[in-house]
Amino acid sequence: MINRVMRRHLLVGTLGLPVALTGRPRLIFAGSQTLHDIEIKRFEFNPTILEVRPGDQIRWTNWDISPHTATAEDGSWDTGELQKGQSATVMVSEDISTAYLCAFHPNMRAQLVVL
């Protein structure tokens, strides 16, 4: 009985950990992996700087009428062409290239900070 109560408190305590919200939706996965959402809107990536950890996923969603990409400056990863309403996800690795842009609009630039 005591073990069951202790496990219940441990589980409730773990599930009740506070999560800081920064105005962007975030989903927490087992192992502390996080899904980060980046909006492409008005020819900008929002946020333009995003802190991530290896194992996290980043999802870009295009809300502009114009097609866009999120493409590493060194070409090592790419979301492919995203039409309005489409999304693509990239998994963060320790050696991911952090500076990226839109292949169609090179003035659209943003940065990942790997922690």
How does strand 34-41 pair with strand 87-91?
unpaired
Q: Phi/psi of residue 9, each to 5°?
A: -65, -40
CA dist., res. 77 & res. 106, Å (int): 15
Q: Which pLDDT score, from 0 to 100, does residue 33 have? A: 84
Asked whether residue 27 carries a pLDDT value surpassing 70, the answer given is no
DSSP 1-65: -HHHHHHHHHHHHHHT------SS-EEE-GGG-EEEEEEEETTEEESSEEEE-TT-EEEEEE-SS
10 Å Cβ neighbour count for 59?
17
The reported pTM is 0.72
Class of domain 21-114: mainly beta
Q: Where are the domains of the chain?
A: 21-114
Q: Which pLDDT score, from 0 to 100, does residue 31 have? A: 54
